[in-house]
Amino acid sequence: MPWSEKSIMSQRHEFVMLFEQDGVNRRELCRRFGISPTIGYRLWARYRQEGHAGLADRSRRPQRSPGRSSAAMEAMVLAVREEHPAWGGRKIRRRLQDLQHPTVPSASTITAILHRQGGIAGAAPAGRKPFARFERAAPNELWQMDYKGHFATRAGRCHPLTVVDDHSRYAVGLRACGDEREGTVQAELTAIFRQYGLPERMLMDNGSPWGSDALHRHTWLTVWLLELGVAVSHGRPYHPQTRAKTSGFTAP
């Protein structure tokens, strides 16, 4: 119900007191209190049957679960699981069928029983590894570099070049380039190096102008970096998450 948080019980009590008055427009009263007529009549009926206690919130949990397996069946499922700890719902179901139990639940129901009774721990899906954040220990240990697409301007196409420090996530470079050629990147990196110094290593993808999709050979640009003493790394092909720290910089 959309009751005000300041005093729910007092408002409900005020509502039922007004609701019982002769000649009151009950639909208008419900609109004034922000509830539907169905809720209003239900609340009034609860108040007449139970008094002030009937105005309190009630649990929405169903009183019965007719589709739930019996306690005896759940005990049999757990007994088979204890005897065969590695078995899942399908094998346990087959075992119960072999024992000729008259009503055997489905494999999914048996699995739900095991989860509910603690017979199966909430393990992560197969092949799924927990997320681990990584970053270098100090600034300038690793920079990530990438072009973030391109877009049209009055002066021509703009190619945003991003260079991000892996440790601090600080963008040491965010340059609007006219193209994606090696010479353009070299000129921008030279200006960045003069301002922030040389990184120990730079991480890029395998595309032009700093990589090759075919054999991952060094380009003229990466050879220049190596001559400056900057190690070069390339991310795994088709795994952009390797350079996730540059993903926050996108072209409009």
Write the CA distances from 34 to 14, 29, 47, 163, 217, integer angstroms. 13, 9, 19, 54, 69
In a domain, 22, yes or no: yes
Residue 213: predicted pLDDT? 52
pLDDT score of 3 more than 60: no
Q: Is residue 50 part of a domain?
A: yes
Better pLDDT: 170 or 149: 170
Q: What is the mean pLDDT of residues 153-167?
A: 92
Split into its structural domains, the chain has a count of 3
Q: Are residues 175 and 227 in the same domain?
A: yes
pLDDT tens digit sequence for 178-196:
999 999 999 999 999 999 9
What CATH number corresponds to the domain at position 76?
1.10.10
- Is pLDDT of 124 > 50? no
CA distances 128 to 116, 131, 132, 239, Å, are 23, 9, 12, 16
Pairwise CA distance, residues 131 & 71, whole Å: 39
Task: Round to whole Å and give the CA distance between 228 and 232.
Answer: 11
Mean pLDDT of the chain: 80
Identify whether 147 is part of a domain: yes
Distances from the Cα of 60 to the Cαs of 30, 38, 127, 146, 208, in angstroms? 22, 17, 38, 53, 60
How do residues 13-59 score in pLDDT, each as one tens digit?
888 889 888 888 988 988 888 889 888 888 888 888 888 888 887 76
| 77 shares a domain with 47 | no
The answer on 235 and 150 residing in a single domain is: yes
Q: Assess whether pLDDT exceeds 80 at residue 220.
A: yes
CA distance 97 to 155: 76
H runs (alpha helix) in the chain: 8-19, 26-33, 37-50, 71-83, 89-98, 107-116, 182-196, 220-227
Percent of the chain exceeding pLDDT 90 equals 25
**Which pLDDT belongs to residue 170?**
92
Residue 127 domain-assigned?
no
74 vs 79: CA distance, rounded Å:
9
Same domain, 157 and 242: yes
Same domain, 204 and 169: yes
Q: Considering the domain boundaries, does residue 129 fall inside one?
A: no
Q: 89 and 179 share a domain?
A: no
Helix (H) or strand (E) holding 161: strand 156-165
Q: Which domain holds residue 79?
A: 71-116
164: CATH: 3.30.420.10
Nearest to 13 by CA among 62, 42, 56: 56
In this predicted structure, what is the pLDDT of residue 238? 53
Strands 201-204 and 143-147: parallel
User: Does 107 map to a domain?
Assistant: yes
Mean pLDDT to the nearest integer, 234-246: 58
- Same structural domain, 153 and 241: yes
Identify the pLDDT of residue 121: 54
